[in-house]
Amino acid sequence: MKRAPNVAVAGIAIDCGSPQPLVEQLYGSLREAILSGQLRPGARLPATRVLAQEIGVSRNTAVSAFEQLAMEGYLNARIGSGTRVASSLPDELLSVRAHCEPRCTVNSGIRLSQRGRDLASSPVRILSVPGRPRPFASGHPDVTEFPLNIWSTLAARRWRSGSRDLLTYGDPAGYRPLREAIADYVRTARAVRCETEQIVIVSGSQQAIDLLARLLLDSGDVVLVEDPGYLGARFAFRAAGACVIPLPVDDEGADINDVRHNRRRIRLAFVTPSHQYPLGVTMTLQRRLALLEWARQQDAFILEDDYDSDYRYRARPLPSLQGLDNARRVIYMGSFSKTILPSLRLGFLVLPGNLVEPFRRARAVLDGHSPTPYQAVLADFIVEGHFARHIRRMRSLYEERQSALVEAVHRDLNGLLEVSRSDGGMHLVGWLPPGISDRGASRVAETHDVYASPLSACAFGRLKRGGLLLGFAAFSPRHIHEGVRRLAAALEGAKKRKPRNALTVQPY
């Protein structure tokens, strides 16, 4: 039988300067070639090593793209016969094959509202190829360490109970037993002052920010967001029509004194006082008290995002800002995305009493409530002690991984990147030498299959010094060491290419 030759795949568009990961670009190009008929059923693709060399990416990138396409039914891989386009594609793919539309963009000819344009143009990272994150993506817990057997047992018990309360519409504020469990937990672990009635369940922190923006802000209202700070909050407030201005952060946390000269009435301040994102500093008591006094004088609200303070390694978790508030100006926000599973999409707010009913009604109008069965299982998970045990275990595991990252950077990236241990959190900031572009370094790292987000992407303007966000929680010490070696090769290689040094820019 005559052996079919490899097919040279033309038109694969790989842009190393794009914020979209290379594996997603390669996956999308190959999928489009299959659906458009450029790659026909049975066509044999080049080996991953050959394809990677031809288009200038790492072999790991090519392997990941091939694996995803095979899992979705586009490719078949057999030992001895190579990788081929599947001979029969799913019916729903065949029906659109001849009419494959180009990828949608913001400027697609559709008229969007101003809010729509703000939302569609926000530089969020969308994973079109879900799967295990690459080193050193930040904000990812290690889901492989989650006790799924316990969760499955609790879920099965709930379904066997046949409770109709879990099958019908629920309270917009959330499942009451879960709210009770959360109130007990945050009172003890975070010194939050609250009653069950102040707890509202939401579908993650991002929804909480969006709902609060709708409820509290009119178009043109002024909001403070830490600089550098969480991009998701900044763009959610902008999409709500607010004017977002920077709240400077230094080694003592956000400094409200730097904006006291602003004569515009500020409606809300978004802060991460226990473990500032992305710098990782803790707001001092003096700064906390000054912020609370400012909010009282301004009649403004403070949204306290307590996104990962359960992971405190060398001391007990810090008391919340909300626990110091006597004027009911602080809204406390927590999420289970970092402590349990991101896909669970459950978080919570602790609202001042006079905001609870307006928020319930707004939630009822917009999406009703979060899925009640998941809330019920989570309530059991907390009440029966599994949550506290899981946190203790992951705290120890993440501390070990942070140590592995620091040691690997000191060994393999000496002179290229500086990191220091942190008392908590799930990521570290790797500081680059002065005059080095963190965006350029991030792009170079992508070519070596390393994802290290640039610190400057979180800033309103230029930073005095660039840095890379290095998440460590989702990665074993072996993956951390491999990732650091690849990052070292990327930065060393770019450094040697003097005439076209992608890293050097004008000083910050």
Which DSSP symbol is given to 128?
S
Which DSSP symbol is given to 57?
-
Cβ atoms of 268 and 246 within 8 Å: the answer is: no
Candidates 446, 427, 456; CA nearest to 486 is: 446
C-alpha to C-alpha distance for 216 and 359, rounded to whole angstroms: 10
Amino acid at 309: S
Same topology for domains 22-120 and 171-368, yes or no? no
| Tokens read off for 19 | 């914020």
pTM for the whole structure: 0.77
Q: What is the pLDDT along the chain (508 residues), one digit of tens a residue?
A: 444 444 556 667 788 778 788 888 898 889 888 888 888 888 888 888 888 888 888 888 888 888 888 877 888 887 777 888 887 765 444 444 444 444 445 555 678 887 787 777 776 666 545 567 889 999 999 999 999 999 999 999 999 987 888 889 999 999 999 999 999 999 999 999 999 999 999 999 999 999 999 999 999 999 999 999 999 999 999 999 999 999 999 999 999 998 988 878 899 999 999 999 999 999 999 999 999 999 999 999 999 999 998 999 887 767 899 999 999 999 999 999 999 999 999 999 999 999 999 999 999 998 899 999 999 999 999 999 999 999 999 999 999 999 999 999 999 999 999 999 999 999 999 999 998 899 999 999 999 999 999 999 999 998 999 999 999 999 999 999 999 999 999 998 766 654 444 554 433 3
| Tokens read off for 392 | 């203790």
Residues 6+ apart with CB under 8 A from 117: 106
Candidates 285, 286, 287; CA nearest to 226 is: 287
Cβ atoms of 404 and 428 within 8 Å: the answer is: no
Question: 């409820």: which residue's tokens?
Answer: 215
What are the residue ranges spanned by the domains of the chain? Answer: 22-120, 171-368, 393-500
Residues 6+ apart with CB under 8 A from 440: 494, 502, 503, 504, 505
Tell how far CA 355 is from the center of its chain.
28
Q: Does domain 22-120 have CATH number 3.40.190.10?
A: no
463-468-473 Cα angle (round to 5): 135
C-alpha to C-alpha distance for 334 and 204, rounded to whole angstroms: 8
Cβ atoms of 162 and 360 within 8 Å: the answer is: no
Give domain 171-368's CATH number out of 3.40.640.10, 3.40.50.10490, 3.40.50.300, 3.40.1180.10.
3.40.640.10
C-alpha to C-alpha distance for 199 and 179, rounded to whole angstroms: 6
What backbone torsions phi and psi does residue 312 show, to the nearest 5 degrees?
-115, 120
Q: Topology of 393-500 in CATH? A: Aspartate Aminotransferase, domain 1 (3.90.1150)
